[in-house]
Amino acid sequence: MKWFLRAWSYIANPIFVPALVSLWYFLEVSMSDPELMRTKMYLILILTAAIPILLFLVLKILKAVTTIHLSEVRERITPLICYCVLLIILLRGVFRDGLHQPLYYFFIGTLMASFVSLALAIVRYKISLHMLAAGGALGFVLLISYKLSLPMLYTIMVIIMASGITASSRLFMKAHKGHELWFGIGIGFLSQIIVGSYYTI
């Protein structure tokens, strides 16, 4: 079990969550041109996962960070600033066509949560970014389920189970205290609920 919880902490890295949520949206919700969805998916993957990983490697070489989990609060500031810039580029570039509004607002919510995380890092509070991403994913899927009047129980159950395993993993690795996990999932969830009133499906 110990090896699984350690491995899960890497598998459930928050860098991958926006791309996974986007893939779920394109496969399960969106009905637009497949080629357009494929192009957007590639761009989302590049801006939210590939480039952040490359930036981490650069920061690692420069010894500005120690691990991909950004264990020290001071290590989070530069990566979070870079991530917020990448999200702004994504919002202003990939969604300029006005299509896929729910996903556009999902990234607005993600940007909001990232700004809050950055502000907390500046004041030396280490919120759980793993749980922030999990809360955002759960909030988005619940909103889609509500707006489409579809249960989506399996998807919601999977996210809740994955969130529970993630929380256990972070506690097992002594990466966070309980309140940091709760603040993480709460801010991620609330950011999606706040922006959810601005779009319809």
What percent of the chain is modeled with pLDDT above 70?
A: 99
Count CA atoms within 13 Å of residue 40 on its CB side. 29
Task: Provide the residue type at 40 as one letter.
Answer: K
Cβ(9)–Cβ(69) under 8 Å?
A: yes
pLDDT of residue 65: 87
pLDDT of residue 119: 96
| b/e burial code for range 172-191 (CB count within 10 A of at least 16 → b) | eeebbeeebbbbbbebbbbb
Is pLDDT larger for residue 67 or for residue 27?
A: 27
Number of H helices, E strands in the chain: 9, 0
- Condensed to tens digits (0 to 9), the pLDDT of residues 1-54 reads 677 878 888 888 999 999 999 999 999 988 778 899 999 999 999 999 999 999
- Condensed to tens digits (0 to 9), the pLDDT of residues 133-147 reads 999 999 999 999 999
pLDDT(71) > 80? no
Cβ(27)–Cβ(37) under 8 Å?
A: no
Is pLDDT larger for residue 6 or for residue 194?
A: 194
- Condensed to tens digits (0 to 9), the pLDDT of residues 111-130 reads 999 999 999 999 999 999 99
**Mean per-residue pLDDT of the chain:** 92
Rounded Cα distance between 43 and 16, Å, is 13
Domain boundaries, the chain: 2-196
pTM, rounded to two decimals: 0.93
- Condensed to tens digits (0 to 9), the pLDDT of residues 86-102 reads 999 999 999 988 889 99
pLDDT of residue 32: 77
